[in-house]
Amino acid sequence: MSDQHPAAAFRESVEGANVELAYAGAKTFLKGEMRDVGAVSDVDAATFGVPYDGAVSNRPGARYGPQAIRRASGWWAYLSDYKGGLTNMQTGKQVNFDDLTVADCGDAPIFPMDSETTAESITAHMATVASQTFPVMLGGDHYCTFPALRGFAEGAGHDTVGFVQIDAHTDTTSESPVFGTDFHGSSTSLIANSEYTDYENVSQVGIRGYESPEFFEFAEETGLNLYTMRDVEDQGITSAVADAVAAAAEGTDAVYVSFDIDAVDPSVAPGTGTPVPGGLTPHQALKTMEVLGETDDVGAVDMMEVAPRYDSDEGTQRLAAYLLVTLLERKFAE
């Protein structure tokens, strides 16, 4: 008599029983194994969430971004499990997702009424992951990128870090009379004035809408590498992103990439707090991640400002997941 229990026997005897559908099973990023944040040195990349939107200036809801991105990522985990090796029809390349190992460390502790302690938590968790492997942070509002970059530098032992920001907004406000010095519109200012980088190693792609008077003069004086949507249209996305990475990487130990989903046009990605018309197309956004994934200088990435409540069709989080998968695929699975 077999010692095998009935469920195990069923799984062994029925073809396809061990294929987990996209909407089934644990809701981890790419259905990766759930791990303690201190035990990820044996994987290619490790994700953690930051469900915090206490520093937004417009519509809240990015606190629900990490779980939404995780759920959406299940589709690519299903495809890779079901079909094995895949052909990426956009790039024409063969992709073996068996070569990509991803763990999910859950969410960093968040303190909704205490931004300082929340920032300390983000720094500590990013530093712990970065000391072991490639970190992927799921936001959360864009203020969280500042303590994350600090944690990346500390954990990976980098003295200098370049910063590539894909965004509709520059986030260079040093102080607001309403929101103070620590909100999602000040994150890049905080990063550029930190001990780890300055504006000469900050690159921004996809900027549009309105900024402060004489902002172009500010960019020239500080050395900020600015690629507005007009620049992207004139230069082409591949060239603009390649130049942005090169500028951020020059003289630094590594590059931190932050992708604010509002960089994409809101007709495609409406699920965000501060949408601005005229943004990146899905093709441009995916091409951006292809270029970034092919660059050895890139040492960390985050996906910010996904607010799923504003997108009833769930397309925003689906695109956000696809963008991260694209970068990781190019970095580890080709």
Per-residue model confidence as pLDDT tens digits over 216-255: 999 999 999 999 999 999 999 999 999 999 999 999 999 9
Q: Do β-strands 86-87 and 102-107 pair in parallel, antiparallel, or remain unpaired? A: unpaired
Q: Considering only the top CATH level, what class is 20-332?
A: alpha beta
Q: Is the pLDDT of residue 153 over 60?
A: yes
Residues 320 and 5: their CA atoms lie apart, in Å, by 40
| Mean pLDDT confidence for 313-325 | 97
Q: What angle do CA 145, 146, 148 make, to 5 degrees?
A: 60
Domain ranges of the chain: 20-332
**What is the pTM (predicted TM-score) of this model?**
0.93
Comparing 155 with 85, which gets the higher pLDDT?
155
Asked whether the predicted pLDDT for residue 83 surpasses 60, the reply is no
Distance CA(285)–CA(289), nearest Å, equals: 7
- Collapse the DSSP code of 232 into the 3-class scheme (helix H, G, I; strand E, B; otherwise coil) and give the result: helix
Angle (CA) 33-118-56 rounded to 5° is 100
Average pLDDT over the chain, rounded to an integer: 93
Query: Residue positions in the annotated binding site?
Result: 142, 167, 169, 171, 260, 262
Condensed to tens digits (0 to 9), the pLDDT of residues 4-62 reads: 897 888 888 998 888 888 888 889 999 999 999 999 999 999 999 999 998 888 899 99
- Which residues are annotated as part of the binding site for Mn(2+)? 142, 167, 169, 171, 260, 262
Rounded mean pLDDT, 184-202: 93
| % of the chain with per-residue pLDDT over 90 | 76
Q: How confident is the model at residue 183 (pLDDT cuts 50, 70, 90)?
A: low
State the pLDDT confidence band at 331, using cuts at 50, 70 and 90.
very high
- Say if residues 137 and 126 touch (Cβ distance below 8 Å): yes
Segment 282-289 shows an average pLDDT of 98
pLDDT at 2: 62
Cβ 302 vs Cβ 126: under 8 Å = no
Q: How confident is the model at residue 82 (pLDDT cuts 50, 70, 90)?
A: low
Give dist(CA 82, CA 133) in Å, integer.
Answer: 27
Angle, CA 317 vertex, CA 315 and CA 321 arms, to 5°: 115
Task: Give residue 50's pLDDT.
Answer: 97
Q: CB-based contacts of 269: which residues, under 8 Å, 6+ apart?
A: 261, 262, 275, 279, 311, 315, 316, 319, 320
In this predicted structure, the answer to whether residue 261 has a pLDDT above a threshold of 80 is: yes
What integer pLDDT is reported at residue 90 of this predicted model?
A: 85
